Amino acid sequence: MAGRQPESTAAVSRGNRWPTTITSLAVGAVFFALWFWLLPRWLGFSVDMARWRWLAAAPSVLGFAVALRCVWDFGWTGRGTPAPVAPPKRLVVVGFYRYVRNPMYVGFAAGWIGLWIVFGHFNPIAIFAAAAVALGVHLFVVFYEEPTLRRKFGVEYEEYCRNVWRWWPRVRGWGGPQ
């Protein structure tokens, strides 16, 4: 039985995940709340009851569900939060992270694009602002997140990067280190 934890140690390990997972979900909930409270006004959201617009609700809900699942994975698997002040202690390569390296951002983008279609209207300033935010997120990922993860997780993260793309999802999930 080499390499296997005693049941009491495994149970304690699983039990210790709950406070971190709950903290991660709380951080995620605050993040969601701030986005929903602050952004709709400056993005030009207004209610337009055109029926075709409501078709965008499905990808919006799915996108936000992906982001929420990623917040869960940060807490449960990574034993941390999405916030840089309390990052995961373990590299998270489960769930949607098997398909794309940044599923939380991709999920948020899908969610917000869907909401914009449902409630939005054409506003060049808002489109420019959204493009600037997308560029800012990309630069944050490339110049802060990825170097930080390389330093923290080393070879494990390098292999992950070689097998899973930053923004474009794989058709089949990566099976992890071989």
Rounded Cα gap, residues 75 and 93, in angstroms: 13
pLDDT digit string (tens) for 96-119? 999 999 999 999 888 888 877 777
Q: What percent of the chain has pLDDT over 90?
A: 27
Rounded Cα gap, residues 59 and 115, in angstroms: 9
Query: Nearest-CA neighbor of 87 among 140, 36, 23, 155?
Result: 23
Q: Locate all alpha helices (DSSP H) within 43-123, ordered by sequence.
A: 57-76, 103-119
Cα 23–chain centre separation = 16
Domain map (residue ranges) of the chain: 54-172
Residue 105 and residue 141 in contact, taking contact as beta carbons nearer than 8 Å: yes
Rg value, the chain, Cα? 18
CA atoms within 13 A on the CB side of 114: 18
- Asked if the model's pLDDT at residue 9 lies above 50, the reply is no
CA atoms within 13 A on the CB side of 6: 2
Q: What percent of the chain has pLDDT over 70?
A: 69
Query: What's the pTM?
Result: 0.69
pLDDT digit string (tens) for 41-56? 555 555 555 666 667 7
